[in-house]
Structure 1
Amino acid sequence: MARIFITGSTEGLGRAAAEALLGEGHDVVVHARDDERLRAVEDLVRRGAGHVTGDLADPDQTRDVAEQVNRLGRMDAVIHNAGVYRGPDVLPVNVVAPYLLTALIWRPSRLVYLSSEEHLTGRPVLRGQDWSGRESEGSYPDSKLFVTTLAVAMARVWPEVLSNAVDPGWVPTRMGGPSAPDDLRLGHRTQVWLATSSSGEAMTSGGYWRHEAREEPAPAVLDHEFQAELLVALSDYTGEPLAPRPLAPVD
């Protein structure tokens, strides 16, 4: 069985993925923004889930989340599920946090990043982006274009890691709203499948997926130059380059 860390797992798709993975017998680590939100997954903790806390809108707290995860041991997979739709935290949570956690958590065998169909309307423009969110509100489509590009870039940068992006569909979560037309029961399945399955398709890397089917992402996602520019921009902002690191802690 695999050990899997899921960000933003107190509700919605993150919680659904955690429940499914626990039900399959996997070792799951859930994440909550703070101790108050952690109460929402007390039932999962009682079932054996590990837990970490920290606000992913705050880079310092995100670094602490990475340290908490590393203290629990190497993960087999990380599902970057946490996200916000609007407000000043769009870029910090949707892009900066996944990058920081990727850079700082002991390298897993698999990485799964939550994307969206809206990434297709994102602008591949890095100049002027306010990664801190303090001066200007980021665009949700832009953020999903960036995180999808990050997922595909990691497949090239770390070829020994299976890295993929997932569009879960427009599902009726708190973010998606009650009128969302897609099936909530399908929203978490592709993440779970990519994190654990040994099937041939699931063992591929650098893909953009929807309901266990590979689809074509926005052209910028596959542009190696844009990938490199994004990694440099995030490295410069966070001060954390994607340097080669061991697959597990060294005693």
Structure 2
Amino acid sequence: MALILVTGASSGLGRNTADALADDGHDVVVHVRNPARLTDPEDKARWRGVITGDLAQPDEIPGVARQAAEFGRFDAVIHNAGTMHVPDAVTVNTVAPYVLTALMDKPARLIYLSSSMHRTGSTELRELATASAAYDDTKLWVTTLALALASRWDGTTSHAVDPGWVPTRMGGAGAPDDLTAGHRTQTWLATHPDVTPRTGGYWYHRSPQSPHPTAQDQEFQARLLQALERRTGVRLD
């Protein structure tokens, strides 16, 4: 049994991921922006805990980390929360995962939600300091973050996952990928004892894929981490 945090878990892929993990007997802590979105009367009994905070608001992100700390060290953290809405995308999709990672105790496994659209993202990091970054930019950056962290801390692995274009509220009803397959890779990476590669993978439906080459470039990784530190005032240890 593992202790696992899933961000953005009120609906869509995040909710499906949390449900699957709970069904398998794991202790799941869910993060939601608005607790009113948890409408099932059995929701609170289902989870080990619920933490709240709007990840589009930089001032609320440290509060989410503080709430998470009350549960101790997680076995896995799945950074699922995401949005396509500009100007929130850069904060929700890239800044929040970075700040939460920096402020929380390091889990055994870190999993970051990417997208196939990261391949058209910009390597121009000036956009990171503004609110004008596009969705594909933010997904390139969070993919780079995941791979940059893959060997940073002993005892912590890190992966990026492309869940596919699935029919969620964000993906739209006409999205062509399978919704169930959209969360299975995350649950597998969070709990399976034997994952290859052990760390630093970019995954699609449990299969390792090749990300945009920039995401694996150590110089770009270093520049991204520096840019995130400048923007947030928060440094990785």
Give the alignment's TM-score, normalised by structure 2: 0.96
Aligned residues: percent identity?
53
Aligned to 1:222: 216
SS in 1 for 2:50: strand
Point out the more displaced range, 39-48 or 166-175.
39-48
Q: Taking structure 1 as reference, are residues 225 and 46 closer, same or farther at Cα in structure 2, changes over 3 Å only? A: same
2:74 counterpart SS class: coil
Kindly indicate whether residue 222 of structure 2 is the aligned counterpart of residue 232 of structure 1: no
Cα displacement (A) at 1:58? 1.1
Secondary structure class of the residue paired with 1:156: coil
- The alignment status of 1:176 with 2:171, answered yes or no, reads yes
**Residues of 2 paired with 1:42 and 1:163: CA distance?**
34
Q: Is the 8 A contact 1:19 1:44 kept in 2?
A: no
Which amino acid counterpart does residue 23 of structure 1 have in structure 2? Answer: D
What amino acid is the match of 1:225? E
TM-score (norm. length: structure 1): 0.91
Alignment map for 1:87-98 (pairs within 5 Å): 87-98=86-97
Structure 1 match to 2:201 = 207
Cα distance in 1 between the residues matched to 2:106 and 2:39: 28
Asked whether 1:146 is paired with 2:146, we answer: no
Call closer, same or farther: CA 1:18–1:183 in 2, change over 3 Å: same
CA RMSD in angstroms comes to: 1.3
Shift of residue 165, structure 1, vs aligned partner: 0.1
Which residue in the other structure is 1:106 paired with?
105
**Cα distance in 1 between the residues matched to 2:169 and 2:127:** 30
Q: Deviations over 1:5-39 (max 9, x none)?
A: 000000000000000000000000001103323x3
Of 81-90 and 42-51, the range deviating more from structure 2: 42-51
- Matching residue of 1:63: 62
Matched residues in 1 for 2:120 and 2:214: separation? 11
Gaps of 5+ in 1: 244-251
Q: Could you tell me which amino acid in structure 1 is paired with residue 24 of structure 2?
A: E
Match of 2:183 in 1: 188
Q: Which 10-residue stretch deviates more, 122-131 or 87-96?
A: 122-131
Tell me which residue corresponds to 1:16.
Answer: 16
Deviating more after overlay: 83-92 vs 156-165: 156-165
